[in-house]
Amino acid sequence: MSRGLPLDAFTIASEVRSHERSARSVVEEVIESIERGDSEIRSFVSLMAESALKRAEVVDEIVANGCDPGRLAGVPVALKDNLCTKGAATTCSSRILEGWIPPYDATVVEKLRDAGAIVVGKTNMDEFAMGSSTETSFYGPTRNPHDTTKVPGGSSGGSAAAVAAGFVPLALGSDTGGSIRQPAALCGVVGMKPTYGRVSRYGLIAFASSLDQIGPFARSVAEAAALYEVISGHDERDSTSLLKSEQETTEEALTRGVAGLRVGVVTELLDAMAPQVVSRVREAADALGLSGADVEEVSIPELRYALSAYYLIAPAEASSNLARYDGVRYGLRVDADDVASMNAASRTAGFGPEVKRRIMLGTYALSAGYYDAYYGQAQKVRTLLIAAFDKVYERFDVLVGATSPETAFELGAKSSDPIAMYLSDVCTIPSNLAGHPAISVPFGSGEGGLPVGVQVLAPALHENEMFTVGAVIERAASDARNVGEAAT
């Protein structure tokens, strides 16, 4: 299934630092594999070959001078197309921003450069991150590398597919209601959403500002943890950025083990899920128990209201954030007889159907006479959900459940049914509403041999407990896979 570079991020960085291979040769291999293998998958919307090669030469020069380029020396990284990158088109996979080139880098892009990583391209996504299948993109859909008749999930489907196909070892996405974790589950890679405020949103083109968070994709929990450490930290340019806090390194967390940890298996994150998804989650929970964790089932009834609350809050924030695309300051402009007509014509031509649907829903929820009944009520539900999580975390250190209700579905299967598509996020949305971290770890397969992801949820600022549990689940999945291969 892998079409690209077989090496992990740690191996690449080590070999670049030790002169075993050059950063330039790594980038050349990556660009060649993308150009050769991505025509069917379409995980990338643009390659940054020239700038990537120039940056690789800088990394090689640093090494030649006897200095350390950083933790991710020479490691190729892909960026979701909603992360501002100076000098490179950043479009949110929308016609309304077609060809727009930001004059600055997002904070996470700066941090990648400081760590020696090399950005090789921008990945496809649902338009303005609104979708769960990467089918609403202006550039057309991305396909799942495991089965190209299936979706990769969304909205960060391009980043998930790029890692799953082996084009890059690491990628960044954004997660507003599950847009990192759900495609990670469907593509069989690791995807993580940090605590809200742990990673700067400066330079992330906003969808829903109180929910959006940037996070990593990788092929292992350890690589995801390393990328998280690189991009996290306080940023004065982001007013929602958390202040610096002391914490142990993720490396310590990955090797600690789960003995004595209290793990809750969430009933609501198993209800109405595909049987094989439920089986994999229970097998992962059993593995945690065998590794010394105290595992118990728990019900959080308030989770049943999360989806409804989210699809009022997120569209309401989107309707405000997307008001800036008016045909005047930047982006697409369709000329008309007056300003109001030009605004309307530009937005009509520039936005796709799903974006228009959510703008109208959000505008309605915020309108006079309906604000309290819809948006205000949804915020009360959000508060109720946060309180429910706080209560549960008095008993448990982490929670586990499904990441997605099912494995990857057919392209086009849900395109005409928005409600069915929205239900794809039912397992992931609660963590966004609460602002808590969560990670999806591949664990076996379901129908048709397609990947299944197990989700680990943790309280705010407890990423390390989440990584600890994720690493044990990952090892259990590897052990089970090795036993299966030996039996055949």
Q: Enumerate the active-site residues.
A: 80, 155, 179
- Please tell me whether residue 263 adopts helix, strand or coil conformation: strand
Q: In terms of Cα–Cα distance, which of 61, 435, 468, 152 is closest to 291?
A: 468
Other C-beta atoms lying within 10 Å of the C-beta of residue 338: 8
Angle between helices 9-17 and 23-41 (to 10 degrees): 150
Alpha-carbon separation of residue 473 from 257, 279, 479 (angstroms): 10, 14, 10
Single-letter residue type at 409 = F
Cα distance between residue 269 and residue 273, in whole Å: 8
Rg of the chain's alpha carbons, rounded to an integer? 21
Strands 214-218 vs 190-193: parallel, antiparallel or unpaired: antiparallel
Q: In terms of Cα–Cα distance, which of 130, 129, 127, 187 is closest to 153?
A: 187
Which tokens is 199 given?
A: 């990673």
Return all residues near 353 (Cβ < 8 A) that are at least 6 apart.
136
Single-letter residue type at 351 = F
Single-letter residue type at 437 = P
Strands 262-266 vs 214-218: parallel, antiparallel or unpaired: unpaired
Phi, psi of 141 (to 5 degrees): -75, 155
CA dihedral of 179, 121, 143, 350, whole degrees rounded to 10: 70
**Strand runs labelled E in 124-272:** 170-174, 190-193, 214-218, 262-266
**What one-character DSSP code corresponds to residue 147?**
B
Cα distance between residue 128 and residue 126, in whole Å: 6
Other C-beta atoms lying within 10 Å of the C-beta of residue 290: 12
Single-letter residue type at 46 = S
Cα distance between residue 92 and residue 106, in whole Å: 14
Return all residues near 251 (Cβ < 8 A) that are at least 6 apart.
222, 225
